[in-house]
Amino acid sequence: MNYFQIILLLILIIEIFTITEKKKEEIKQEANGKYISSWMGLERTGENIQSDLSQISSYSTTFTDISYERYDLGSQSTLVNNGFTDVTNDIKSDGLGTWPMITTVSLTKFHELMENPNQFITQATEEAVKRQFTGYNIDFEIESDSESDAQLFAQFLTQFADALHQHNIQLSVDIASWSTFWDFDLISNTSVDWIITMDTYCGNDDLFVQYLQKAIQKIPIQKLLVGLITVDPNTQKPFTTDQLILRFSQLTQNQIKGIGIWDEPVPDNWWYFISSFINGHCC
């Protein structure tokens, strides 16, 4: 091989490397256009915490954010640490967004919160700034048929989100159709960053499509995260391949920006579909 052949070979190698790196960057940018989140139920769900942290670490280039049980709404408008394992630093070390949950099922505690929302918002904001959270995930699963409660909840979400936004901290909220506490129209017009559907946890394929369409019609697409559950709630068995194809095809066809998976661990046969969703084709 003469001098000129060596030079040409080196140029070819450099071009191949450049194209490969450019393709990697394109894939990375494409993946970054989708939001892939999962929840950790921790002690509340009897989770194998270390095993699931290992999975999250292994798929840290696929996940964008992790939400996890951390706080409860306490009495008298307070934020209460639930005492579960603190996985915040583990998630941060993987370069992922941290979204501790704030949970309640208590209508009484909600009414107490509404009597003094500023106290709670101040406490929660100070905690988020101190811990450098990406955001909070509000999981208030309250049964109420009061239109007033729905209005108060939506007002609270905007007030809380606005306070957090002053510190570049975000807010997401979980909603469903089984309680009028969640008014889709009111919540869609709040300042929250993400609205996550729990309706779409359903096992029935037709219902999944129906609830997905409702979410698309009601929620701004840039705020919509479609909730997915890892087992069929009707049978408590893993979803079949056909069920996964239907769900991820619907997500892709409807140009959904992100998903929230309840809950860790994500089944092995999901990763192909998640990857296809990220890359904009399924299935």
Compute the distance between CA of residue 53 and CA of residue 230 in angstroms, rounded to an integer: 17
Residue 281 pLDDT: 84
Does some domain include residue 229?
A: yes
Based on the structure, what is the number of domains in the chain? 1
Residue 7 pLDDT: 53
Walk along the chain (283 residues) in steps of 10 and give the mean pLDDT of each run.
52 41 37 87 97 98 98 99 98 98 99 99 99 99 96 99 99 98 98 98 97 98 98 94 97 96 97 95 79
Does some domain include residue 14?
A: no
User: Range of 259's domain?
Assistant: 35-278
Does some domain include residue 24?
A: no
Does some domain include residue 71?
A: yes
Does some domain include residue 159?
A: yes
Does some domain include residue 16?
A: no
Does some domain include residue 45?
A: yes
- Specify the CATH number for the domain of residue 186: 3.20.20.80
Does some domain include residue 215?
A: yes
* % pLDDT > 70, the chain: 89
Residue 208 pLDDT: 98
* pTM of structure: 0.88
